[in-house]
Amino acid sequence: MAANRTGVTSPRTPLKSILTEKAKGIPNDSAGTVKAQTIEELHSLQRKRSAPNTPLQGTAGAFANLSEDERQRQQLQSISASLASLTRGTGPKVIRGDPGGGKYEAVSHVAHHHHIEAPVISVSDSSLKFTHVLYNLSPGELYEQALKYEKGSFLTSTGALATLSGAKTGRSPRDKRVVIDDTTQDELWWGKGSPNIEMDEHTFMVNRERAVFVNDQFLNWDPKNRIKVRFVSCRAYHSLFMHNMCIRPTSEELENFGTPDFTIYNAGQFPCNRYTHYMTSSTSIDINLNRKEMVILGTQYAGEMKKGLFSLMHYLMPKRHILSLHSGCNMGKDGDVALFFGLSGTGKTTQSTDHNRFLIGDDEHCWSDDCISNIEGGCYAKCIDLSKEKEPDIWNAIKFGTVLENVVFDEHTREVDYTDKSVTENTRAAYPIEFIPNAKIPCFCPHPKNVILLACDAFGVLPPVSKLSLAQTMYHFISGYTALVAGTVDGIKEPTATFSACFGAAFLMLHPTTYAAMLAEKMHEHGATGWLVNIGWCGGSYGSGNRIKLPYTRKIINAIHSGSLLKATYEKTEVFGLKIPSEIEGVPQEILRPENASGLKEAYKNTLLKLAGLFKNNFETFTEYKIGEDKLTEEILAAGPIF
């Protein structure tokens, strides 16, 4: 038996059809003859062996000095350590390849770098059992896995992978648990208003078992503050999602990957045992900072993983005096940078993806002494009612490689109907950032000139745009007001007024005033201007008024970017004391002042006071805290509504 260039030994079956044609003397007018002697050889020729990509344990070793076997051994050892459990301190035997073995027969004899000969072993004793690992598969390989084995996976007409996240189509913030220990007890934000609910170490370990797909990737484009993360998951869909959302290492970077700084175990299709202490449902998202691990059970909503890592960054970065931000970020051709803060569904992704500006990132950033850097390597856009005309760059990013969650499509044409809410209102597309043509890679940029706070005001009383003083910016940053748009958080069906500190309380690990003080200091130092932009209703609340049209918001934001809005004349509103520009080119003047837009002055005033009351009520929890120096604390308290 001859070994071909993929190192496969060829069985004997000759390619009969080729021989038969020759024998008959029929001239062969095809472009070329097949080099393979057998069908198996032909199939093995189809797949060229790719460049090696293997992480090594501990400190980096030069790839060239190690034999292929040794690299494989070290890599499997590192993954095995990640899979060590409560009962097995030393981790299982791991093997690369598809656990189905037989199911993947077509390639099981090919020494492809991801699919080393996988013996089918069915011994129940855990010490003898092999755990099959599919390591850093490519999108193509993950598509095949998803299409073969995961119900609800389909190819759409543009080449995206349509998937279903199961019963959960949004995050489950009530099911987040954080292991409490001597350190975290003092460090973290616990108690009233905090998203961090305690659990103990033992329960964490019970919830942490199984999985097959392994991804090793990075967070944070700032090279000085890069974090190494490993995902262990049971679904190709989740592996592809993280491949798209995190920073993808080059094969060279992967060689030197070493031990991850943090590991996520996602076994979302398996419920947690709700009779376990600390569990209140069959869903559980557990963070153990001491073990540097996170476990996800009972939800397959992929956003849970990216936002879980975001929580981690909210813990790690402030320790390095770096501010983590729930914001989008883009940069103009002249280098002017804008941040877009906002709760889920308030337009961070939509507004940061601007064809005339460079995209730095759509959702999670770090602000260090040197720069703004994106934490992620991909975007996660809401796609309900997505249209090519209004959001062309997002539309065009939905192609091969993109994970399209919970959308409805035509069974035959595979064309997606973005207006269909049958599965959920929170339909999503996750794509690598380079799918946006004007993404700036590497994703970092200079300090921001403008800090835009996005709110979706369902009451229709906040102006479409107002200029904020630093104290007002801090007041609104800490308040984090919006009307939560249906669907993103499980169980919310109608827009409801919500306050979420720092526009992302669900992801904060430390007290909100810690982040607020850092933001104030940085904005002051770099002379950034704060703006409040309402992308919600204007002139009457949800139901009676109209939603501010996206093209108007774009015009407003362009006027902020260009600096022209800074020079406008302003009037101060009653109650909230917001400064409203008297005009903006291309935006109807009457919508700039909501009281003009709304028919009934009386109703407007009542609604305004109602909202002001909600703001005041919400801010009460923060009045005992110091934010920066004494003077700033006082100014912030005075920057809220007065009535």
Ligand X SMILES: Nc1ncnc2c1ncn2[C@@H]1O[C@H](COP(=O)(O)OP(=O)(O)O)[C@@H](O)[C@H]1O
- Give the residue carrying structure tokens 């509103």: 573
Site residue total, ligand PEP (CB under 6 A): 10
Q: d(Cα 572, Cα 272) in Å, to the nearest integer?
A: 53
Question: Which of 553, 558, 618, 633 is the binder for ligand X (CB under 6 A)?
Answer: 553
Contacts of 412 (CB under 8 A, 6+ apart): none
Residue 350 interacts with, from Ca ion, ligand PEP, ligand X, none (CB under 5-8 Å by kind): ligand X
- Give the largest Cα separation in the chain, rounded: 98
Candidates 222-230, 357-365, 425-433, 518-526; binding stretch for Ca ion (CB under 5 A) = 357-365
- Give the residue carrying structure tokens 């062996």: 49
Exposure of 159 in the CB half-sphere (CA atoms within 13 A): 10
Question: Which of 535, 538, 592, 612 is the binder for ligand X (CB under 6 A)?
Answer: 535
Structure tokens that stand for 321 in this block = 């005096």
Nearer residue to ligand X within complex by CB, 54 or 346: 346
Nearer residue to ligand X within complex by CB, 75 or 346: 346
Q: Does 350 bind ligand X (CB under 6 A)?
A: yes
Q: d(Cα 316, Cα 285) in Å, to the nearest integer?
A: 19
Compute the least distance from the CB of residue 44 to ligand PEP, in Å: 41
Q: d(Cα 511, Cα 508) in Å, to the nearest integer?
A: 7
Closest-CA residue to 529 (of 557, 501, 502, 487): 557
Structure tokens that stand for 232 in this block = 């262990």
Encode burial over 272-298: b for 16+ CB neighbours within 10 A, e otherwise: beeeeebbeeebbbbbbbebbbbbbbb
Nearer residue to Mn ion within complex by CB, 153 or 426: 426
Question: Which of 488, 498, 513, 541 is the binder for ligand PEP (CB under 6 A)?
Answer: 488
Give the contact letters, 516-545, x = binds to ligand PEP (CB under 6 A), - = no. ------------------------------
Question: Which of 268, 347, 460, 463 is the binder for ligand X (CB under 6 A)?
Answer: 347
Nearer residue to Ca ion within complex by CB, 272 or 506: 506
Nearer residue to Ca ion within complex by CB, 354 or 363: 363
Site residue total, Ca ion (CB under 5 A): 1
Compute the least distance from the CB of residue 386 to ligand X, in Å: 7
Q: Does 498 bind ligand X (CB under 6 A)?
A: no
- CA 491 to mean position of chain CA atoms: 21
Candidates 28-36, 107-115, 210-218, 342-350; binding stretch for ligand X (CB under 6 A) = 342-350
- Across the beta sheet with 529-534, the strand order is 358-361, 327-331, 337-341, 450-455, 529-534, 465-468, 579-581, 570-572
Give the contact letters, 154-183, x = binds to ligand PEP (CB under 6 A), - = no. -----------------x------------
Structure tokens that stand for 509 in this block = 């690990």
Compute the least distance from the CB of residue 20 to Mn ion, in Å: 59
Closest-CA residue to 351 (of 550, 534, 585, 562): 550
Structure tokens that stand for 474 in this block = 């801090």
Q: Does 354 bind ligand PEP (CB under 6 A)?
A: no
Q: Is 231 helix (H, G, I), strand (E, B) or coil?
A: strand
Q: Is 212 exposed, middle or buried (0-12, 13-18, 19+ CB in 10 A)?
A: buried
Q: Is 452 helix (H, G, I), strand (E, B) or coil?
A: strand
Q: Does 363 bind Ca ion (CB under 5 A)?
A: yes
CA dist 284 → 21, 207, 322 (Å): 63, 8, 29
Q: Does 363 bind Mn ion (CB under 5 A)?
A: yes
Question: Which of 349, 426, 529, 558 is the binder for ligand X (CB under 6 A)?
Answer: 349
Q: Is 267 exposed, middle or buried (0-12, 13-18, 19+ CB in 10 A)?
A: buried
Q: d(Cα 99, Cα 166) in Å, to the nearest integer?
A: 23
Compute the least distance from the CB of residue 557 to ligand X, in Å: 9
Q: Does 171 bind ligand X (CB under 6 A)?
A: no
Helix segments in 340-480, DSSP class H = 348-352, 392-397, 470-479
Judged by CB under 6 A, the chain residues 357 through 416 that form the site for ligand PEP are: 363, 380
Compute the least distance from the CB of residue 504 to Ca ion, in Å: 7
Strands (E), 192-333: 197-199, 213-219, 227-233, 262-267, 284-288, 293-297, 323-325, 327-331
Q: Does 391 bind Ca ion (CB under 5 A)?
A: no
Candidates 45-53, 184-192, 343-351, 598-606; binding stretch for ligand PEP (CB under 6 A) = 343-351
Nearer residue to Mn ion within complex by CB, 342 or 545: 342
Compute the least distance from the CB of residue 502 to Ca ion, in Å: 12
Residue 324 interacts with, from ligand PEP, ligand X, Ca ion, none (CB under 5-8 Å by kind): none
Residue 41 interacts with, from Mn ion, ligand PEP, ligand X, none (CB under 5-8 Å by kind): none
Q: Does 382 bind ligand X (CB under 6 A)?
A: yes
Q: Does 285 bind ligand X (CB under 6 A)?
A: no
Closest-CA residue to 489 (of 501, 479, 498, 478): 498
Compute the least distance from the CB of residue 358 to Mn ion, in Å: 17
Q: d(Cα 538, Cα 599) in Å, to the nearest integer?
A: 11
Compute the least distance from the CB of residue 390 to ligand X, in Å: 7
Give rounded-to-5 percent helix, strand, coil for the chain.
30, 20, 45
- The string of DSSP codes covering 41-60 is HHHHHHSPPPPP----SSS-
Candidates 342-350, 369-377, 464-472, 635-643; binding stretch for ligand PEP (CB under 6 A) = 342-350
Q: d(Cα 158, Cα 425) in Å, to the nearest integer?
A: 21
Q: Does 405 bind Mn ion (CB under 5 A)?
A: no
Structure tokens that stand for 4 in this block = 């071909």
Q: Which amino acid is at 342?
A: G
Residue 360 interacts with, from Mn ion, ligand X, ligand PEP, none (CB under 5-8 Å by kind): none
Q: Does 349 bind Mn ion (CB under 5 A)?
A: yes
**Active site residue ranges:** 171, 307, 326, 344, 348-349, 363, 428
Residue nearest to ligand X (CB): 347
Total residue count of the chain as it appears in this document: 643
Question: Which of 139, 298, 303, 463 is the binder for ligand PEP (CB under 6 A)?
Answer: 303
Q: Which amino acid is at 107?
A: V
CA dist 471 → 224, 526, 612, 628 (Å): 31, 15, 17, 11
Question: Which of 346, 479, 558, 633 is the binder for ligand X (CB under 6 A)?
Answer: 346
Question: Which of 136, 163, 194, 351 is the binder for ligand X (CB under 6 A)?
Answer: 351
Give the contact letters, 307-326, x = binds to ligand PEP (CB under 6 A), - = no. x-------------------
Residues in contact with Ca ion by the rule CB under 5 A: 363
Residues in contact with ligand X by the rule CB under 6 A: 342, 344-351, 362-363, 381-382, 384, 535, 547-548, 550, 553
Residues in contact with ligand PEP by the rule CB under 6 A: 171, 303, 307, 344-345, 348-349, 363, 380, 488
